[in-house]
Structure 1
Amino acid sequence: MSETASTPAKTPVDFWFDPLCPWAWMTSRWVLEVEKYRDIEVRWHIMSLAVLNEPKLDELPEAYREMLATTAWQPVRVVTAAWQKHGEDVLGPLYTALGTRIHNQGEGATREALAGALADAGLPADLIEYADQENFEFDAELRASHKEGIDKVGQDVGTPVIALPGPNGEQIAFFGPVVTPAPKGEDAVRLWDGAVAVASVPGFYEIKRTRTKGPDFSNL
């Protein structure tokens, strides 16, 4: 039997992110660390804070509403356009390039950061033009990807959404885990094994406590 035929398939783990969210960025670096120690394969999907908050805009502070109407759209449009024009394999590398600039290097979601990330990921520079495209060409695809994640996890969540292996082989989706800094090595694996354990319990829905510190990018 060939090596390829005898190698078991890795367990797919689906991850929905908005590149603007620092907490999703932290979780994404954790799950990539877990890939080194567990037979999982992360599959990246785009979601949008702007779309997520559309039903409750009137309840949000004015400054946050303004951010959702402008800055929040630009990274997800660029990522979605890259995905649609160059395939799903670009999602992981582009997210890494964007997150490194936006969060680790503190550039924010500026046009310069988006353009730099496209170059870092080896993608065409003209994708930046989708950032400010009001009648976004791939809006339907963006919303469909967002809806797929939300349909798995339910309402009243944020980013990220992660779908883990559950009992009987089906996926169970959660918001989070929200963690800072991103765990490494044994700590990363221990958190993963715990997440898989709770996903295996029928009827488990939520563990939560108040956050007492902000995102810590120092080990990324």
Structure 2
Amino acid sequence: MTSAAPAPHPAQAESSPLTATSTAPVEFFFDPICPWAWMTSRWLAEVQQTRDLDVTWRVMSLALLPANAEPDPEHADGIRRSKEYCPLVALVAERFDSAAVKALYDELGRRIHLDARTDVEAVARESLSAAGLDAALFDERHEGDAALAANQEEVARRVGTDVGTPVLTINGHSFFGPVVSPAPTGDAALRLYDGLALATSVDGFFELKRSRDVGPILR
């Protein structure tokens, strides 16, 4: 006679990111100039191919962080470019939708990070056209300033003003990161997402960190 299987622990009976079938709402805040945000976005796009994620792509700006009010010489050029790209992305978000933001970010990121280009206007106009948008939007980019400032205020409300980009929100829980190099793919990408979704669902969880020993591995 075989014994009955033990009843599952109550915690095991609940749905988790590994088993849930409903669409998970995710928000991803990025600055186009940040290589770390770019790699995190590639990881998230990889996860989105398998997991049922409803991702809203939102722009923030490193230039609007208090710490960058007077940037050091090493970061001054990046902050200058951030002031041009970020309002443009915010304007696209206002006039179109998250899919248009993602398409523009993809095109900007390829040119900024993979091609290492710093010619802001040419990069922006080419990226707009490649994303199916009007290149003339670059001339109106600062009409997105107010929307960008509102996004930055929202980031500060969620995670504070002492962190940069990326900022990720999963099921209402926001945090800075993850910072990855290179961007995980395949099963590793899914394990990272599921682990983050579980960890950040715990009230009182704030930080898990180690020093980086590699730079951005973009390819």
- TM-score class, shorter: 0.7 to 0.9
Q: Is residue 37 from structure 1 mapped to residue 50 from structure 2 by the alignment?
A: yes
The SS at the match of 2:81 is: coil
The SS at the match of 2:69 is: helix
1:160: which partner in 2? Answer: 166
Distance 1:56 1:126 in 2: 29
1:141: which partner in 2? Answer: 147
User: Over residues 41-98 of structure 1, what are the superposed CA-to-partner deviations in whole Å (9 max), with x where a residue is unaligned?
Assistant: 2111110111123x6535x424434642x22211112212222233343111111111
Question: What amino acid sits opposite 1:76 in the alignment?
Answer: C
- The counterpart of 1:93, out of the listed 100, 103, 112, is 103
**TM-score, normalising length from structure 1?**
0.83
Q: Is residue 61 from structure 1 mapped to residue 72 from structure 2 by the alignment?
A: yes
Displacement of 1:110 in angstroms is 2.4
Distance 2:78 2:47 in 1: 33
1:74: which partner in 2? Answer: 84
1:3: which partner in 2? Answer: none
Distance 2:47 2:87 in 1: 28
Distance 2:39 2:123 in 1: 18
2:23: which partner in 1? Answer: 10
Displacement of 1:174 in angstroms is 0.7
Q: Which runs of 5+ in 2 are unaligned?
A: 1-20
Distance 1:173 1:61, change over 3 A: same
Percent identity (aligned): 40
Which stretches of structure 1, 4 residues or longer, exceed 3 Å deviation after superposition?
none
- The counterpart of 1:103, out of the listed 89, 94, 113, is 113
Contact 1:162 1:175 (8 Å CA) reproduced: yes
1:172: which partner in 2? Answer: 173
The SS at the match of 1:137 is: helix
- The counterpart of 1:23, out of the listed 33, 36, 44, is 36
Distance 2:175 2:24 in 1: 17
The SS at the match of 2:208 is: coil
Distance 1:200 1:142 in 2: 28
Question: What amino acid sits opposite 1:127 in the alignment?
Answer: L
2:16: which partner in 1? Answer: none
Q: Is residue 203 from structure 1 mapped to residue 204 from structure 2 by the alignment?
A: yes
**TM-score, normalising length from structure 2?**
0.84
Displacement of 1:108 in angstroms is 3.3
1:115: which partner in 2? Answer: 125
1:46: which partner in 2? Answer: 59
Question: What amino acid sits opposite 1:32 in the alignment?
Answer: A
Distance 1:109 1:39, change over 3 A: farther
User: Over residues 161-192 of structure 1, what are the superposed CA-to-partner deviations in whole Å (9 max), with x where a residue is unaligned?
Assistant: 10012xxxxx1101000001110000101111
Displacement of 1:105 in angstroms is 2.0
Number of matched residues? 199
